[in-house]
Structure formats: structure tokens, C-alpha cells
């Protein structure tokens, strides 16, 4: 190798001392090599100072709501139980878990981490429902960052890193519109139909502005409403007495209203034929459908969180139908519907009536009631309410799992009562606090029945029968159940009672729906109790109008001299994370109104009411065509925008060129990233101080669309990069290294990549790009030095499969390990700047390391024979590579002394010899002076007259006999030699055998 040696070499004095040690240090060398073979001890990260000066890292994990990349401390709650890790350059991982407030604090200074610059990684705690949040630019604690990012806490700097997750399928803007649908009697025309309004209405009449979208004839009798995010509203046919079906006829049809076309059209028809209405006498009788309410038609309708499936409950076959939504906007079409029969709950009394649907994100719930019809008798026309139960199932992958069930016989007060209660109460039709089921105007739930209830003085009638019409999933996992009063759809306003003759007294139905909260605790659910639900407390504690003597959501209304204790109509919707729960209701402000009530979803306090339409203070004909207090509104839904999308993230300088973002590798600001659309138009973004860039909905990105990205680094300042490379020395690092897409580079050598934006809410922060300059590396040869001269001679072969370790010289920590190839080559590539040492493990077969620095750099061996390690090497801007770290192997040689009696030739034990190596090149043994030869070792002959010297190198040696056995005299010339050791004297058997005899001196004493 002719490369200039870049490692630090010892000065000549130290080298001379090393050589003077000679083979006398062979035992230490063997110990050192053995230690290396067993592995070096663990130590801190390579070439990085300990983290004792680091600041603290606070990682905050939040639930993002606004999707604007900014942390809202009031709106966006912390996520508890999220796993967070910090990782340093050496791969040391410090784990943590967020607490109740969503934060975890790492004290890096007292941890095993080193270097001060760390990678933050936050694991998704609920991949089924949560996705990485939309990120913002900047570094402040109120900026939401990517789930994988980087912090620098060197010099005691404290850092707060905020990141988050969100529910893209549950996203809704701050103040969305809502839609509901008004119902009118028979086939009357000219009345409100589908309407919309903003959700921020107040408590002052009329609360807000209502916009008419259709008239009542466009869809006629409907209840279930589902809304997608592309302008479509789906409405399911309702069987309601005194109300016509749409022109589609007596079919289970779901209609679609599109805002673009402003038209209502049939969308899909599910199995089942509806009982025909009887329009005689201006729809005042219509008795044929009295008992069909809740048993025929379509129940609730909802759209899946991803907008790809329309769900509906078919009341005819008690099945949940899933209808694929193909396309979007006015071009949407219905795919083939699939039916999933909703299982009947165990111990269900009477008929099973599934009806309501709940969708949040990927979750789908279905609920219904067991009607207890089999408990209705001639003396108890209202049946046994304790047998009436409501149930909720979770639907997933075609399977239903029962979540919750409860009896419905809790106190509910009066559907209508005078204020104050007359004392004494002479009128049997006036409801009192001591109401019992079946009492006139009682609000207590009854079994499903077809009785004709008694009327009070205003000809009001009530026989509340529960329909579980809506399910909402709260932020904390609780459920909110909306109940529609079946009797409110069985009896109209100023119409005949069931079975009444023409000309008899007209009666008006008073509906009494309800809203209940179900408390989640792990996988268990319990009904609210006296206005409490887990840690939450509602507004109606001890009001005797709900389970346990109170109700969470107070849904009564006080008029001038009367009260309705239960005014909701079964259309409920909860706006996630905004603390808003809405329900259709009558008399929100005053008598004979249809409208909407809004509660704080966490406290049950009424925060707003909305008047949708007045149903009484009009002319008699108009009053007669509206439903007043008898379920005059359909379902209620939010109209939410599509969830924003975002792509992008980081450009970094890949100092070691390995294609992976290491914690200490810096960002690259100033890179121009251009996003190119299919039509050739483009938009650009420049990486910020964190090297980050983003494109999103605000930049015109569309879901389910592909884009091209081009990265241009011409505008960066390369002087700010490690080593200050010239601009023309930079290139894009290797792409798609490894399996972790969060930390590798995506661009090709030309700086191009493509990005596919998925469904609404798609976030991809893995479109990273790495720049690389000149790369640090070390190598590169281990060879067999067959002549032992320490120089790489022609024909001397490479040594394969030799283990080579890259070591941090400051700590002894092994950074990497490799083995030589068939030619004896090795290479440590893509190294970060720092100090290194290369240590070699001797292969089996009694090898030694050849002499050190015997020739010119690149042609000799740099290894210290005693340690098997090279001197330290510093890699950095001035020295990017050193390929001269070579190591030569030589075979260990041996020399054996055979000592005998000069006359008898009998082996003599006890003779002492010193072995010296000629190290100064002067003929003859030099025992004194500055340039004396090197003493290797001594040995004592054994009983066989032998002593051996092993692990010797090629060279010239001398023996000095320093002591003799008892009875013998030293030779006149105790020095023998020279003895030349060559590879043929390899330490097999005795090696080179030197025979030396002694003559007797004085007479032998003892045993000779």
C-alpha cells in the first residue's frame, strides 16, 4: 500500500523501548491477544464525551385535534402510557413512558447515553385507531414534531420535544355545519326538509341561522342520516305514521342528497317491503303502520370513518348492511350490499330490535333494544319495563362482540306535567313526581306495545317505548346513547288515536326520548349512575330523572306553566375533542318548536339551543301538517371537512455515509424541495433550521394522488456541514438502506423520489433525504509474513477469516467487528469523525504478530506485537481515510536445549540458560553497552536434560549458560551460538535442538 500513513505514530524513543522489550514481553503479548480473542470490555459510545453535561429532554405526546401542527394546551390532551425512547450514536437506548399528562422526562446526564445529541422515537400506542399527527415547522414546545426526531441537549440545554397522534377518521373542523331533516304530515308540500346550521349556536332565541337545503317532499319520511366528506348526505326511509314514503314507494330505500347537484335521488335499496300507508281522511288515521313503527324501514345510517362504506340497519331482517361507496362527490355509486345479522342478546325478552349505529374512526358499533312484548297483558298493557333492555355490540371484520347491556326501568319523570304540581291532584291525567309506568303522561319506558294511552286535558298522549337510535363514542371511550321514543312516531299531532273513529277527539303525541352516558373502564361498561360516569359528573344529579336518581345530560325544558322532563328525539352527534354533544329536541326555547340542544359533553351542562322551525304559532293548516312534540325531526349529523394530508420531513448530512440518520448527524437547512403535480405545476418548500419541510392540504395536496419530489442543495451553505466540504463534493447518500423507513433516505442519486398520498388524513414523515460528502474509512490487509521481515513481500499471501475489531481508544469499547476476506482484506466504511484503533485477533495455529513499522507506510505492519492493536487514528475533515492499517502474521518458532554429561551422555537437570536475540546487527553476543542485544528469557533443564524457549521469531540467537548442576563446572565459554531460526523451525515438537554437555568438577555429592 502506498497511501500516506495517517495514524499517530509513537516517537522514536518509544519505538526503541518497545523493541528493547523484545520477546521478554511475549507472555504479556499472549495475555493481551487472549483478552482480545474473548472480546473487549463494554464502554461508552465511540468518540463521544459522557453525557454528564447534558440537559433534560421532556417529550410530550398529545392527541392532535386541529391538524395544524401547533399544540393547543387547552384543546389537545396528553396521551398517557406511550412508549418513548432516546437513542445515542452507539445505539444505547433509554426507554420511558408518558404519564397522565402525556409527558416523560429523561435526565440524559445521569443515564448511559453519551454525546448530547439523541434520536427521539415515539411508538404509536393504538395503531388501529391513531395515526401520526400533522407536524409543524420550528422547535418550540408548542410545535408538534414528527414521531421520530432529534434533540441536542449538550451544554446543559433543556429541550421539550412535542409530538402527537390523531384520529384522522374522526377529524372535524372547529365549527362544522350540522344537518337534520324536518318531517311533515302525509304528502303535504312546501315545508322544510333537509336543513343545515352552524354548531356554535347560543342560548338566546333562535340560537342561530338555519339554511334550507331541500323541502320535505324531496325525501319525505326519513330518520337515519349519514354524511360523507365529499358533499353527500344519505337518508334512510322511516316508517312513521301519518307520513308518506318518498316516490320510491314501499321500499327500504336510502336516498342521497348532493350539495353540488342540490338533488335528492335514490341511492340504494335494501331488502324488505314496507307496509303501505292509508292516506284517507288527510292521513289522520293511517292505522296500518301503527304497529310497524320500529319494525320496518331503515334504522340508523352512518358512513365509515374512512368514507368508503355506508352502514345501515335494515329493520325488516335485523341486519347491519355494509354498502361500499365507490367514487366521491356526485359521482359516487353504491357497491353490492352485504348483510350482517345482528345477534340477539342472551336472555332477550320479546323481540330484538337493532336500530342505532355508532362510528368513530375505524370503530363501528350497533345497538338495539329487547322490546319485552311478551310481557304485555290485558291488565298491564305497558308490559314489564324491567324486562326491556338495551344493548350495544362492536362490529369488526364481520363479527359482533357484545359490549354492554342494561335494563331500561329507571325513573324518567313526566313526558308532560303542570308547574307546580296541583296539591291535592284531582285530575288523574296529570303526571306527578310519583309517576309510575303506564300513568297518564308518564315518561317511564314501557315494553313495546300497541296500546292507546289515556289523554290529559290538552289531549296530549304518551306511551314511551325506547328505540336505541344513535350511539356516539366519546373521547375517553365512554358511549353516549340516543334513544328515540317509538310512540312519537306512532302518534301524530292533532290526529286520531289508533283505532279511533272519524270525528272523534284528535290527540297529540308527546315524545319522550333520552340521552344516556355509558362509562368505559378498560373493556367493561356501566350505565351512568345519578349523573356520575367514572370520574365525570353531569348536570342532573338527584333530579330523579335518570339511572340512580339523576341524569348526566339534563334534557328537560320548562315552559311558562309546564315542563317536559324528556325532550330529545333520538338524533345525537358528538364532536370529538371539542366537548360538544348535540341532540334533536322539541321546545328548545318555548312550546311547539323543533330544534337542537347542545351540551358540554363532559359536564352535561346545556350550552346552547337552536330553533329549527316553529310548529304552532302559525295558521291552523300549517300546524296540522307538522309534528310539534311528536318526533318532528330526523337524525342529526356533523358535516366535517376531509382530514388534511401531509408529506415530507427531513434533509440531513450523512456524515458516515451509511444511509441512516444517526443521532449526531446534523440537519441541512436551505435545501429547496419541489413538489410536482401530474399536470406539471409545482410548489416549493425550503428546509428550515431543523432540515425539515412539509407539503399538505394548504399547498394543494389531494388524497389518493401521486406526486414527484425533487431536492436541490445548490442553495445550502456547505461551510456549516462537518468538515466544510465543497459543494461539488456533495452527493445524495445511498437510498432505502435497511428496513426502518423512518431513518433512511428516499431520494435517488439525482435527488428525486415519488410520493403517494393515501386516503384523507394520510401523513408520511418518512420522505427524508441524506446528503453525503467524503466518507471516513479504515483498512485494509492482514497477511502471512512468511520471511518474518515485517514487510509485505511479493508472494506472501493474505490471511482470511481473521477477526478485526474497531475500538474506541479512549474507552476500549468495540465499535464494530469484521473479518478479513479471502485475500486478507478488511474495511470499516462510513465512519463518523473521531478517534479509532484497530485490534486484530490472532487466528488459531500459534501465530505471532510480525515486527512493527519495519518498512514504509502501507507496506509493513502497524500492529504492536504485544497488544495486537494499531496506534490510534483520527478521522475527520483533514483525514478521511487510512488504508495502511495492515497486520503481518508470523509462525511462532522454538528452540530446545538438550543438556547432558560430557562423558556419560546422561541427561542433566538443573542447568540454567539465558536466551539472547541479536538485535543490533553486530556479530557476536553483545551483553553490555547502549546497543547490547536483547535478552529473551531463561530456562532450567529438567530431569530429561531439556528446557525450551517457545514463541520465538525468525532471527539470530545466543545461549548463555549461567549455572550448572551440582558437581559440574561451567564451560570455559558459556556462550554458544549463533543459532539462526527460520520458518522451518516452527514450534512443532522441539524446534531447533541445541545439544550442550558439561564436564564434572569436584566429586559428586549426593546422588549423581
What are φ and ψ of residue 400, in 5° steps? -105, 135
For 787, the grid coordinates are 520471511
Q: Using alpha carbons, select from 218, 216, 208 the residue that is nearest to residue 177.
A: 208
Judged by DSSP in three states, 812 sits in: coil
Query: What's 45-167's CATH class?
Result: mainly beta
User: How do beta strands 389-396 and 363-370 pair?
Assistant: antiparallel
Residues for the chain: how many in total?
1008
CA distance 940 to 938: 7
Range 82-86, long-range pairs (CB < 8 A, 24+ positions)? 82/122, 82/123, 82/125, 83/122, 83/123, 83/125, 84/59, 84/120, 84/121, 84/122, 84/123, 85/120, 85/121, 85/123, 86/57, 86/111, 86/113, 86/118, 86/119, 86/120, 86/151
Cell, residue 718: 456547505
Cα(79)–Cα(69) distance, integer angstroms: 16
pLDDT tens column, 273-316: 999 999 999 999 999 999 999 999 999 999 999 999 999 999 99
457: confidence class by pLDDT, cuts 50, 70, 90? confident
Closest CA to 241 of 586, 4, 493, 606: 493
The torsion angles phi and psi of 24, rounded to 5 degrees, stand at -60, -20
Confidence tier at 621 by pLDDT (50, 70, 90):
low
Tell me the pLDDT tens digit for each residue of 156-200: 999 999 999 999 999 999 999 999 999 999 999 999 999 999 999
Contact by Cβ (8 Å): 835, 47: yes
Q: Is 31's pLDDT higher than 70?
A: no
Average pLDDT over residues 850-867: 94
Q: Which long-range contacts (CB under 8 A, 24 or more apart) does 93-100 make?
A: 96/59, 98/59, 98/60, 98/61
pLDDT band with cut points at 50, 70 and 90 for residue 675: very high
| Poorest-pLDDT segment among 48-57, 85-94, 368-377, 703-712 | 48-57
- Judge contact between 506 and 461, C-beta under 8 A: no
∠ CA(6), CA(10), CA(13), 5° rounding? 150
User: Cα(first)–Cα(last) distance of the chain, in Å?
Assistant: 61
Mean pLDDT value of segment 980-1005: 75
DSSP character for 13? H
Per-residue confidence at 247, pLDDT binned at 50, 70, 90? Answer: confident
- What contacts 728, CB < 8 A, 6 or more positions away? none
* Residues 465, 527: Cα–Cα separation, whole Å: 19
Residue pair 355/376 in contact (Cβ under 8 Å)? The answer is no
Record the cell numbers describing residue 82, joined without a space: 406511550
**Torsion (CA) 240, 246, 250, 256 in degrees, nearest 10:** -100
Q: Look-up: residue for cell 408518558?
A: 98
C-alpha cell of residue 644: 388534511
d(CA 584, CA 599): 12
What would you measure as the largest C-alpha separation in the chain, in angstroms?
159
CA 437 to chain centre: 51
pLDDT tens digits, 940-981: 999 999 999 988 888 899 999 999 998 899 988 999 999 998
| Residue 493 DSSP SS3 | coil
User: Which range among 361-370, 565-574, 875-884 shows the weakest confidence by mean pLDDT?
Assistant: 875-884
Residue 360: its H or E element: strand 352-360
> What pLDDT, on a 0 to 100 scale, did the predictor assign at position 831?
86
Q: Which fold has domain 177-639?
A: Neuraminidase (2.120.10)
Domain 893-998: CATH architecture, name and number where available: Sandwich (2.60)
CB 640 within 8 A of CB 183: no
Give me the residue label for grid cell 525468525. Answer: 954
Positive/negative CA dihedral, 410, 415, 421, 423: negative
Q: Which CATH superfamily is domain 12-38+775-888 in?
A: Immunoglobulins (2.60.40.10)
Tell me what percent of the residues of the chain surpass a pLDDT of 90.
82
Distance (Å, whole) CA 162 – CA 144 = 5
- Reported confidence tier of residue 921, pLDDT bands at 50, 70, 90: confident
| Element containing residue 144 per DSSP (H, E) | strand 144-145
DSSP line for 231-296: SEEEEEEB--TTBPPPTT-SEEEEEEEETTTTEEEEEEEEEEEPPPP--HHHHT--GGGGGGTTTS
What is the spatial distance between Cα 664 and Cα 661, in angstroms, rounded to a whole number? 8
Q: Where are the strands (E) in 880-1003, listed by range? A: 881-882, 887-891, 893-901, 912-917, 934-940, 946-952, 955-963, 975-981, 992-998
Summary mean pLDDT of the chain: 91
Query: Domain locations in the chain?
Result: 12-38+775-888, 45-167, 177-639, 644-773, 893-998
**Euclidean distance between CA atoms 819 and 803, whole angstroms:** 5
Distances (CA, A) of 141 to 59, 77, 108, 465: 9, 14, 18, 53
Is residue 303 classed exposed, middle or buried when 0-12, 13-18 and 19+ CB atoms within 10 A define those classes?
buried
Nearest-angstrom CA–CA distance, 427 and 417: 12
CA-nearest of 879, 811, 968, 970 to 45 is 811
Q: Give residue 384's pLDDT.
A: 97
Q: How far apart are CA 849 and CA 870, in angstroms?
A: 11
Task: Report which DSSP code applies to 718.
Answer: G
DSSP string, 326-355: ES-GGG-EE---EEEEPPPPTT--S-EEEE
Give residue for cell 446526564. Answer: 109
pTM beyond cutoff 0.85: no
Q: What pLDDT band is residue 52 in, cutting at 50, 70 and 90?
A: low
What was the pLDDT predicted at 374? 98
- The upper half-sphere exposure of residue 705, i.e. CA atoms within 13 Å in the direction of its Cβ, equals 18
Task: Copy the grid coordinates of residue 924.
Answer: 557476536
**Do the domains 177-639 and 45-167 match in fold?**
no
Peptide bond into 476 cis (omega under 30): no
Domain 644-773 has CATH 2.60.40.10: yes
985 C-beta neighbours (distance < 10 Å), count? 20
Amino acid at each position: 500500500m502506498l497511501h500516506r500513513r495517517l495514524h499517530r505514530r509513537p516517537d522514536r524513543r518509544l519505538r526503541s523501548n518497545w523493541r528493547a522489550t523484545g520477546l521478554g514481553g511475549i507472555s504479556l503479548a499472549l495475555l493481551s491477544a487472549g483478552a482480545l480473542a474473548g472480546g473487549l470490555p463494554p464502554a461508552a459510545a465511540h468518540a463521544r464525551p459522557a453525557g454528564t453535561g447534558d440537559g433534560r429532554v421532556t417529550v410530550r405526546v398529545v392527541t392532535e385535534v386541529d391538524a395544524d401542527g401547533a399544540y393547543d394546551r387547552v384543546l389537545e390532551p396528553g396521551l398517557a402510557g406511550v412508549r418513548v425512547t432516546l437513542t445515542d450514536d452507539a445505539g444505547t437506548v433509554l426507554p420511558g413512558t408518558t404519564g397522565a399528562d402525556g409527558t416523560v422526562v429523561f435526565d440524559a446526564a445521569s443515564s448511559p447515553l453519551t454525546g448530547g445529541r439523541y434520536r427521539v422515537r415515539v411508538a404509536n400506542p393504538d395503531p388501529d385507531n391513531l395515526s401520526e399527527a400533522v407536524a409543524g415547522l420550528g422547535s418550540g414546545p408548542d410545535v408538534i414534531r414528527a414521531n421520530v426526531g432529534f434533540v441536542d441537549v449538550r451544554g446543559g440545554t433543556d429541550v421539550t420535544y412535542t409530538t402527537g397522534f390523531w384520529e384522522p377518521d374522526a377529524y372535524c373542523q372547529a365549527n362544522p355545519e350540522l344537518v337534520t331533516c324536518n318531517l311533515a304530515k302525509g304528502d303535504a308540500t312546501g315545508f322544510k326538509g333537509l336543513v343545515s346550521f352552524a354548531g356554535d349556536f347560543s342560548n338566546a332565541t333562535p340560537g342561530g341561522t338555519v339554511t334550507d337545503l331541500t323541502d320535505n317532499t324531496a325525501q319525505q319520511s326519513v330518520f337515519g342520516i349519514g354524511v360523507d366528506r365529499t358533499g353527500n348526505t344519505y337518508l334512510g326511509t322511516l316508517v312513521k305514521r301519518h307520513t308518506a314514503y318518498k316516490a320510491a314507494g314501499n321500499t327500504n330505500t336510502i336516498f342521497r342528497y348532493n350539495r353540488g347537484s342540490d338533488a335528492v335521488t335514490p341511492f340504494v335499496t335494501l331488502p324488505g317491503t314496507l307496509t303501505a300507508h292509508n292516506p284517507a281522511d288527510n292521513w289522520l288515521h293511517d292505522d296500518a303502520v301503527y304497529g310497524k313503527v320500529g319494525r320496518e324501514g331503515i334504522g340508523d345510517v352512518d358512513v365509515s370513518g374512512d368514507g368508503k362504506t355506508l352502514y345501515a340497519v335494515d329493520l325488516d331482517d335485523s341486519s347491519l348492511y355494509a354498502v361500499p361507496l365507490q367514487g366521491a362527490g356526485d359521482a359516487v355509486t353504491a357497491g353490492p350490499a352485504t348483510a350482517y345479522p345482528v345477534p340477539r342478546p342472551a336472555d332477550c325478552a320479546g323481540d330484538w330490535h337493532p336500530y342505532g349505529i355508532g362510528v368513530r374512526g375505524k370503530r363501528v358499533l350497533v345497538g338495539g333494544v329487547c322490546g319485552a312484548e311478551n310481557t304485555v297483558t290485558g291488565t298491564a298493557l305497558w308490559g314489564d319495563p324491567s324486562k326491556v333492555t338495551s344493548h350495544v355490540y362492536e362490529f369488526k371484520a364481520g363479527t359482533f362482540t357484545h359490549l354492554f347491556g342494561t335494563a331500561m326501568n329507571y325513573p324518567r319523570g313526566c313526558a308532560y306535567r303542570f308547574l307546580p304540581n296541583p296539591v291535592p291532584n284531582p285530575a288523574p291525567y296529570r303526571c306527578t313526581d310519583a309517576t309510575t309506568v303506564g300513568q297518564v303522561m308518564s315518561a317511564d319506558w314501557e315494553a313495546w306495545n300497541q296500546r292507546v294511552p289515556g289523554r290529559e286535558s290538552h289531549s296530549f298522549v304518551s306511551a314511551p317505548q325506547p328505540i336505541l337510535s344513535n350511539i356516539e363514542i366519546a373521547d375517553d371511550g365512554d358511549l353516549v346513547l340516543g334513544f328515540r321514543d317509538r310512540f312519537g312516531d306512532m302518534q301524530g299531532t292533532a290526529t286520531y288515536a289508533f283505532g279511533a273513529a272519524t270525528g272523534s277527539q284528535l290527540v297529540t303525541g308527546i315524545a319522550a326520548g333520552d340521552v344516556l352516558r355509558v362509562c368505559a373502564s378498560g373493556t367493561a361498561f356501566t350505565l351512568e349512575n345519578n349523573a356520575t360516569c367514572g370520574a365525570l359528573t353531569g348536570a342532573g344529579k338527584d333530579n330523579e330523572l335518570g339511572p340512580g336518581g339523576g341524569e348526566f345530560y339534563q334534557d328537560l325544558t320548562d315552559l311558562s306553566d309546564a315542563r317536559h322532563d324528556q325532550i330529545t328525539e333520538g338524533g345525537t352527534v358528538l364532536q370529538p375533542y371539542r366537548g360538544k354533544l348535540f341532540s334533536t329536541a322539541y321546545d328548545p326555547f318555548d312550546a311547539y318548536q323543533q330544534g337542537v340542544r347542545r351540551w358540554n359533553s363532559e359536564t352535561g351542562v346545556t350550552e346552547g339551543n337552536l330553533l329549527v322551525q316553529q310548529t304552532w304559532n302559525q295558521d291552523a293548516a300549517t300546524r296540522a301538517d307538522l309534528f310539534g312534540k311528536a318526533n318532528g325531526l330526523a337524525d342529526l349529523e356533523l358535516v366535517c371537512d376531509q382530514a388534511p394530508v401531509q408529506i415530507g420531513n427531513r434533509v440531513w448530512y450523512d456524515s458516515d455515509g451509511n444511509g441512516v440518520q444517526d443521532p449526531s448527524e446534523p440537519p441541512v437547512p436551505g435545501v429547496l424541495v419541489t413538489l410536482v403535480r401530474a399536470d406539471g405545476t409545482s410548489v416549493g418548500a425550503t428546509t428550515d433550521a431543523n432540515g425539515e419541510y412539509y407539503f399538505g392540504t394548504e399547498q394543494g395536496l389531494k388524497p389518493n394522488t401521486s406526486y414527484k419530489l425533487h431536492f436541490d442543495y445548490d442553495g445550502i451553505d456547505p461551510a456549516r456541514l462537518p468538515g466544510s466540504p465543497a459543494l461539488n463534493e456533495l452527493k445524495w447518500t445511498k437510498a432505502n438502506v435497511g428496513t426502518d423507513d423512518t431513518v433512511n433516505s428516499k431520494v435517488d442519486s439525482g435527488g428525486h423520489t415519488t410520493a403517494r398520498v393515501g386516503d384523507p388524513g394520510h401523513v408520511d414523515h418518512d420522505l427524508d433525504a441524506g446528503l453525503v460528502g467524503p466518507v471516513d474509512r479504515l483498512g485494509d490487509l492482514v497477511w502471512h509474513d512468511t520471511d518474518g521481515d515485517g514487510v509485505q513481500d511479493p508472494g506472501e499471501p493474505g490471511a482470511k477469516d481473521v477477526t478485526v475489531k474497531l475500538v474506541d481508544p479512549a474507552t476500549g469499547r468495540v465499535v464494530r467487528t469484521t473479518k478479513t476476506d479471502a485475500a486478507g482484506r478488511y474495511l470499516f466504511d462510513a465512519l463518523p469523525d473521531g478517534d479509532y484503533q484497530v485490534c486484530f485477533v490472532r487466528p488459531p495455529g500459534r501465530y505471532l504478530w510480525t515486527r512493527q513499522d519495519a518498512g514504509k507506510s502501507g507496506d509493513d505492519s502497524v500492529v504492536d506485537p504485544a497488544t495486537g492493536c494499531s496506534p490510534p487514528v483520527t478521522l475527520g475533515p483533514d483525514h478521511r481515510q487510512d488504508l495502511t492499517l495492515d497486520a503481518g502474521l508470523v509462525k511462532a518458532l522454538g528452540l530446545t536445549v538438550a543438556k547432558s554429561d560430557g562423558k556419560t551422555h546422561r541427561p542433566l537437570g538443573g542447568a540454567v540458560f539465558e536466551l539472547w536475540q541479536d538485535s543490533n546487527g553486530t556479530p557476536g553476543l553483545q551483553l553490555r553497552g547502549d546497543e547490547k542485544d536483547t535478552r529473551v528469557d531463561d530456562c532450567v533443564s529438567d530431569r530429561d536434560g531439556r528446557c525450551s524457549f517457545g514463541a520465538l521469531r525468525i532471527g539470530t540467537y545466543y545461549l548463555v549458560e549461567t549455572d550448572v548442576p551440582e558437581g559440574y563446572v561451567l564451560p570455559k565459554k558459556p556462550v554458544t551460538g549463533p543459532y539462526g531460526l527460520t520458518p522451518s523451525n516452527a514450534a512443532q515438537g522441539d524446534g531447533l535442538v541445541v545439544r550442550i554437555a558439561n564436564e564434572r568438577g569436584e566429586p559428586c555429592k549426593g546422588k549423581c
